[in-house]
Amino acid sequence: MSSAMYERMRVNPKFQELVARRGRFAWTLAAIVLIMFYGFVMVVAFAPQSLGQPIAEGSRWTVGVVVELFMFIFFWVLTAVYVRRANTEFDALSQEVVREAWKENK
Amino acid sequence: MRKIISALGLLSLCTLAVAADAVGATEKQATNWHAIIMFCIFVTLTMGITYWAASRTKSTSDFYTAGGGITGFQNGLAIAGDYMSAATLLGLTAMVYMQGYDGYIYMLCFFAGWPIILFLMAERLRNLGKFTFSDITAYRLDQGKVRTMAAVSSLTVVCFYLIAQMVGAGQLIKLLFGLEYNVAIFAVGILMMVYVTFGGMVATTWVQIIKACMLLAGGSLVMFLAMGHFNFSFTNVLDQAMSVHKLGEKLMHPGSLLADPVTAISLGLGLMFGTAGLPHILMRFFTVTDAKEARKSVLYASGFVAYFFNVIFLMGLTAIIIVGQNPEFFEGGEIGKKLIGGGNMVAMHLAKAVGGDMLLGFLAAVAFATILAVVSGLALAGASAISHDIYARVIKKGTASEAAEIRVSKIATICLGFVAIVLGIAFEKQNIAFMVGLAFGVAAAANFPVLILSMYWKGLTTRGALWGGYGGLVSAVLFVLFSKSVWVDVLGNAAPLFPYTQPALFAMPVAFLLAYLFSKSDSSVRAQSEIEAFDDQYVRAQTGYGAASASNH
C-alpha cells in the first residue's frame, strides 16, 4: 500500500488528535475494567468472607451477588459507550483524515 | 467406582475452571427419541444451509471469512456461539448446583476478557488482518518464520481444544442420546467435515448463529419455567436453596476453589487473555465488513454471553431445589445419592422437571448442536492455519492460486476431522480436564503476547517475536505438564514439580520478556526495516486505510 498516503495521514494533526483521543478513551475504560475485575479477584482471594455478607439485615441478597451482577451490567454498558463513541465521533474523524490525504494526493 | 470417577471429574473441572469444557466419565442412557428427532431437524436445517453456502463459497475470502460480509449482529451471535460450548451450559450449571457462588465467579472471569478485547484489540484486528491472526503478526515481520510459528501455536491450541470437545461430545451424547461413544465421535467428526469443507465460513457462521439462538432460547425457557416455581423472586430462590443445600448459608460465599491468590490471579489472566488469543475467536473478527461492525460484534457477543451466564446462574440455583429435592433424579430414588447420569446432568434434569420430555429433548439437541458448532469453528481455524499460513505463504510464498489454496484447506479440514476422531477415541478413558486449561494457557502465553506486541510495540522484530512465541508455547506446555493436573493425575507421579495448576501468570511474563530481550538485542538490518515499517502499519491500524474489504456479495 502506498507509503506516501500513510505518511500524509501521519503528519495530519487530525490523525494525532484521533490517536490521542481514542487512545485515552480506550485505555481509561480498559483501566476501569482491569482495576475492578482484578480488585474483585483480590477480594475473592484475600477477603472472601466480605462477599458472603447480606446487603441488609435479614436480606438474602449477598454483597457478592450484587457486586458481580453490577459488574456484568457495568462492563457491558462500558462496551456500549465505547462502541457508540468509536462508531460515530472517532470513525468520522478517521474518515476525514483519509479523505484529506486523498485530496492532497490529487 | 463410577461415582468416584465422576466426582473426581467434577472436582478437577471445578479446580481448573477453564476445564468447564471437559466432561467426566458418563454412563450410557436409554435412547432418547425426542432429542434425536430434534437433533435431526437441526442437522437437516444446517445441511440445507451448507448446501446453499457451498454455492456461495468460491474464493479464499468466501471460504475463510464468508467474504467479509457478515453483519455485526450476526457475527456477535456467532462469536457468542463459538464461545459458549456445551460445557458452559452443562458444566457451569452443575458448578452452581454444587458450589453456588463459586460458579458465578468463574462466569465473571469468562466474561471480563470481552470488554478488554473491544477496547484494545477489535479495531486493530479488523484493520490489519485478512484471514488469520498471523496476517497481523507477520504484517511487517519475516512472513515465513513468523507465520510458521503462529500456525504451530494455533494448531496446538486447536488440537488441545478439539480433544476436550470430542471426548466431551462422546461422553455427552452417550449420556443424552443413548448412543455408543464411538458412534457419537464419528457423527461429530463427519458432520463437522461436511459443514467446513462444503460450506466454509458461511456455513460455519450460520451453524454458530442457529446454535446460539437455540442455546439462548432453550436456556431462557428453562430458567423462566423454573423461576415460575418461585414466583420469580430471587429472594425465594436463595431462601429455599440455602435451607436445603448442604453448604447452607455458605452457598453464597466464595468457596475453597479460589482460596489461593496465585491461582486466582493466574486463572483471571489465563481466561481473560486466553480468550484474546484463541484462533477460532480471532478469526471471527475478519468476517465483518469493517472496524465499525467488528466493534458491534463484540457489543452483541458480550451482551449475549453476560445474559446467558446470569441465566445459567439462576438455572443452577433453582436446580438445587427443583432437582436436588426430587428423588426421581437420584440413583435408587434417594435424595442426596448420586444424580442419575452424573453431575453434568443437572441442567438436563431441570429441563425435564420443568418442561417434561419435550424440553429435555430440545435441550439435549441444543447441547449436541453446540458441540458440533464449536468443533466446526475450531476445524476451520486449524485448516486455515495450514492452508493460508503454511501452504500459501510459507511453502508457495504467495504464489498459490486461490483454487489450490481452497483445495488444501479442504484436505486439511478432512485430515483434522480424522485427527479429531482418532484423538477422541484415544483419549476416551483419559482425564482430559486439563486440556481446555492447556488450550487457554497456550493461547494466552504464545498467541496473545506476540499479537499484542506486534500491534502496539514498534520495537518488535522477527527474532523477538519468534523467541516470545515459541518461548510462551513451550513454557505454557511445560508448566501444565509439570503441574498436578498432568504430572500427578495423568502420569501418576507422587508430587507435582510445579505447584500451580494455572500457567498464565508464569508463562505470559516469559513470553513478553523473551520477546522484549531478543527484539532489543536484535541489531540486524532486517530488524531496522521492520521497526521502520511500524509507522505505516500504525496508520493503517488506526484508520483502516488499506484494510481488507468485503467482497461484493
In this prediction, residue B368 carries a pLDDT of 85
ipTM over cut 0.90: yes
- Gap from A106 CA to chain B (nearest CA, Å): 17
CA torsion through residues B494, B496, B502, B503, sign: negative
| B37 interface with A at CB cutoff 8 Å | no
Q: Are residues B254 and A64, on separate chains, in Cβ contact within 8 Å?
A: yes
| B265 interface with A at CB cutoff 8 Å | yes
Rounded to whole angstroms, how far apart are CA atoms B24 and B361?
21
Number of domains in chain A: 1
Collapsed DSSP state (helix, strand, coil) of residue B433: helix
Collapsed DSSP state (helix, strand, coil) of residue B498: coil
Nearest to A97 among B234, B239, B543 (CB): B543
Q: Are residues A30 and B235, on separate chains, in Cβ contact within 8 Å?
A: no
Nearest to A60 among B118, B238, B291 (CB): B238
CB atoms within 10 A of CB B395: 13
In this prediction, residue B20 carries a pLDDT of 38
Q: Is residue A87 over pLDDT 80?
A: yes
Q: Are residues B108 and A48, on separate chains, in Cβ contact within 8 Å?
A: no
Residue A37's nearest CA partner among B96, B313, B83, B111 is B111
Contact criterion met (CB below 8 Å) for A54 and A61: yes
The residue of chain B nearest to residue A46, with distances taken between CA atoms, is B261
Which residues in A lie closer than 8 A to residue B542 (C-beta atoms)?
Answer: 15, 18-19, 22, 94
Residue B428's nearest CA partner among B196, B173, B177 is B173
The residue of chain A nearest to residue B251, with distances taken between CA atoms, is A52
Owning domain of residue A67: 3-105
Cβ under 8 Å to B: A residues 3-32: 3, 5-7, 9-10, 15, 18-19, 22, 26-27, 29-30
| pLDDT tens, per residue, chain B with 553 residues | 344 434 434 333 333 333 334 444 565 666 778 888 888 888 899 899 999 988 888 888 888 888 888 999 999 999 999 888 877 888 889 889 988 898 898 889 889 999 999 999 988 999 998 888 888 998 889 888 999 999 999 999 999 888 888 888 888 788 777 788 888 899 889 999 999 998 889 999 999 999 999 999 999 999 999 999 999 999 999 999 999 988 888 888 887 666 678 888 888 888 889 989 999 999 999 999 888 999 999 999 999 999 999 999 999 999 999 999 988 888 888 887 888 877 778 998 999 999 988 898 889 888 888 888 899 999 999 999 998 888 888 888 888 888 888 999 999 999 999 999 999 898 887 766 677 778 888 999 999 999 999 999 999 999 999 999 999 999 999 998 898 878 888 788 888 888 888 889 999 999 999 999 999 998 888 888 889 889 888 888 888 888 776 544 3
Domains (range + CATH), chain B? 2-429 (1.20.1730)
What's the pTM?
0.88
In this prediction, residue B493 carries a pLDDT of 85
DSSP state at residue B548: -
Dihedral, B485, B452, B454, B163 alpha carbons, nearest 10: 30
Dihedral, B498, B503, B504, B505 alpha carbons, nearest 10: -10
In this prediction, residue B215 carries a pLDDT of 94
- Gap from B191 CA to chain A (nearest CA, Å): 35
Residue A1: pLDDT band (50, 70, 90) is: very low
- Gap from B120 CA to chain A (nearest CA, Å): 7
- Gap from B492 CA to chain A (nearest CA, Å): 30
In this prediction, residue B131 carries a pLDDT of 87
Separation in Å, CA A48 to CA A35, A44, B197, B242, B505: 18, 5, 49, 18, 21
Cβ under 8 Å to A: B residues 104-123: 104-105, 108-109, 111-112, 114-116, 118-120, 123
Cβ under 8 Å to A: B residues 122-151: 123
Query: Which pLDDT tens digit goes with each residue over A47-73?
Result: 888 888 888 888 888 999 999 999 999
